Amino acid sequence: MYEQIVLTGIMLALVGCLFGTRLKPAWLFVGAISLSYLAGLIDLEGMLVNYANPSLITLVLLILVSIAIEKTTLIQALAQSLAKGSLSHSVMKLGLSTAFLSSFTNNTAVVASLISAIKESPTHSPSKLLLPLSYTAILGGTLTLIGTSTNLIVNGFAIDAGMAPLGFFDFTLIGLGALSVGLLTIMVLLKYLPDNGTNDQEVVPFYLEGKVQAGSKLIGRTVEENGLRDLKDLFLAEIIHGDRRICAVTPQQVIQQGDVLLFVGDIKSVPLLSRFDGLKIVHDKHEKDVEHLVEVVMSQSSKYIGKTVKEVRFREQFHAAVIAIRRGHDRLQGGLGQVRLQAGDSLILAPGSQFYELPDLKREFVYISGLDLQTHLKPKQSNLVLVAFAGVLALSIFDVVPLVKGLMVLLLGLFLMGTIKVSELKRRFPIELLAIVGSAIGLAKLMINTGLAGQISDALFYVLGDFGPYGAFIAIFVMTVVFTELITNNAAAALSFPVAYALAIGFGVNPLPFVMAVAFGASASFISPFGYQTNLMVYSAGNYRIKDYVTMGLPLSIIYSITVLTLIPLVFPF
């Protein structure tokens, strides 16, 4: 009883922090399992062994091997073919190719590799391609055991609960059904996506600032008198005066020396601000050439994610001044230096000559206008990598060599060949994923072993008992979908699995349909840009609004859910 009470408190605190705070899920899950250890619910060996779970090790190895897959001619050829054909033909080709690649390699890496090619496409607006890219990457990940981290994680949960390991193609029939209806839905809804890229019909809402210098003619005059209200494609959103922020700027607001004026609007209108006497766009230590600007998109692998521009010391690190920032159509607040960087943020930089010589550009950014950030292998080396990877998968599928062993040998070989470097392994090692999943496996075990999952399932059984196993199966799927939209897909799977498994045992039915409901529900992140990494990566790059995700994602989520809920019981009967 003591164990259940303590674990209930820990899990409630975990769920509350996941939904109610901005703390990283990795810290929260590690904190929860650490509290469980300190409270005597689990011993040290029992806690640490979860981080060596075979499914988790397989996932880490796959992510590291995907570094080499990204460099092959396979992704390069796909990127070059995007400009050919009509929009519908390009989207269909992009969708099928992305889904195929995502079924056996990291879908985040696939999206990152293609963003540059799509942004530079001379034929189609990036906003017509990037959201379909993200959605089909998600759908493709559901095709195989290794297609997405969620499937491997759920497999790890299942093995620890005493179930047989899931097969490589156990997900494929359901995944193919979901991909087919999903791609058709995307094609039907394609006309509702905005056209923000190749035409200039819509103002791109960048967020930029200028500082009023000493001696400026703006000082002592109102906003209206200075003509700051009638700027083409620019809106004066805020004024920062010392420690005070003036958010509702009125025409009568008097400009003072040192004021920082925050504008929202089209970056092409920056030259307009240079007409105002004493208003400096780049206003700290060094002057930069504001006429030469580059756009960059923050990478999910950047070590500066979660830090402010000021904390990063951006100018010192990159020899470039941040002129403007855009995060989709989100309204950013405070000065540019106080903006916390997120994956997918678009930054406009005034670069110095040393900017282009920095070795970390490929790690920090997935896109830089005018530059190809991808390192491409020579054709022979590329083919060797693809054949070796296919061989490892084939040996695993036919039970000749376990996948984890094959990937270890392949990774060692790629390292010895120089295809993957130590710096790349350090940069891409998924430490946060390791922390979340290892901790989540331990917590799932505790919920099952202490009986807490059983008690939760008993309560749900009382509510859902009249609806039978199928009603409970639907409820678990819907709960997981809601979790994955509000937090992360891996956290959603971790929270839902113990309850799903206990419910299946309570009903006395095969747990496999419930396990599949968790796996496919945790991959159903279509409605929000923040529920899944690839959605966030294309958010600013495609200049999307949240309503674009709702317009495309809500119908897609409904059709995906109906398809999955129909197919799972047919493929895996209760």
Query: Does the pLDDT at position 133 exceed 80?
Result: yes
pLDDT at residue 176 above 70? yes
The count of structural domains within the chain is 1
Statement: residue 227 has pLDDT above 60: yes
**Would you say residue 222 lies in a domain?**
yes
The yes-or-no verdict on residue 204 having pLDDT over 70 is no
239 assigned to some structural domain: yes
CA distance 55 to 168: 12
Does the pLDDT at position 240 exceed 60? yes
Give the pLDDT band (50/70/90) at residue 286: very low
Tell me the backbone φ, ψ of residue 417, rounded to 5 degrees.
-75, -15
Which residues contact residue 60 at a Cβ distance below 8 angstroms, ignoring those fewer than 6 apart? Answer: 429, 430, 433, 434
468-486 and 512-522 are packed helices; what angle lies between their axes, rounded to 10 degrees? Answer: 30
| 53, two tokens | 């779970």
Q: Is the pLDDT of residue 322 over 90?
A: no
406-419: pLDDT as tens digits: 999 999 999 888 88
Cα–Cα distance list, 570 to 513, 521, 560 (Å): 9, 17, 16
Q: Give residue 334's pLDDT.
A: 65
**Residue 278 covered by a domain:** yes
Within a domain: residue 179? no
216 lies in some domain:
yes
Question: What phi and psi values does residue 293 have, to the nearest 5 degrees?
Answer: -120, 145
Question: Would the pLDDT of 298 be above 60?
Answer: yes
Provide the pLDDT for residue 189: 92
Model confidence over 445-472: pLDDT tens digits? 888 888 887 787 778 777 776 778 888 8
The pLDDT tens digits of the residues spanning 477-498 come to 999 998 888 777 888 888 888 8
H-helix or E-strand spanning residue 9: helix 2-20
Residue 505: per-residue pLDDT: 86
Q: Which H or E element spans position 485?
A: helix 468-486
For residues 454 and 183, give the distance between their C-alpha atoms in angstroms, rounded to a whole number. 38
CATH number at residue 338: 3.30.70.1450
> 């990063």: which residue's tokens?
312
Does residue 185 fall inside a structural domain? no
User: Quick check: 511 pLDDT over 70?
Assistant: yes
Give 516's contacts (C-beta < 8 A, 6+ positions apart): 171, 174, 568, 572
Q: How confident is the model at residue 285 (pLDDT cuts 50, 70, 90)?
A: very low
Domain coverage including residue 291: 206-368
Question: How confident is the model at residue 84, as a pLDDT?
Answer: 66
Could you tell me how far CA 480 lies from the centroid of its own chain?
18
Q: In terms of pLDDT, which residue wins out, 428 or 558? A: 558
Share of the chain above pLDDT 90, in %: 17
Residue 571 CA to residue 229 CA, distance in Å, equals 63
Tokens of 65: 């091997």
Q: pLDDT at position 287, please?
A: 45
Mean pLDDT of 52-71: 84
DSSP 145-181: TTSSHHHHHHHHHHHHTTPPPPPTTTTHHHHHHHHHH
What is the average pLDDT value for the chain, to the nearest integer?
A: 82
Residue 488 CA from chain centroid, whole number: 9
Lowest mean pLDDT among 199-203, 232-236, 240-244, 435-439: 199-203
Flag whether 421 is in a domain: no
What average pLDDT does range 330-340 have in this prediction?
A: 73
Residue 296 has pLDDT above 90, yes or no: no
Residue type, 69: I
Instruction: Tell me, yes or no, whether 261 lies in a domain.
Output: yes
> Hey, what are 164's tokens?
């047989």
Length of the chain: 574
Amino acid at 169: F
Task: Please write the tens of the pLDDT for every residue from 366-389.
Answer: 777 665 556 677 888 888 988 999
In terms of Cα–Cα distance, which of 334, 367, 331 is closest to 349? 367
Q: Is the pLDDT of residue 88 over 90?
A: no
120 has a pLDDT exceeding 80: no
Neighbouring-strand partners of residue 262: 209, 238
Lowest mean pLDDT across 33-37, 443-447, 512-516: 443-447
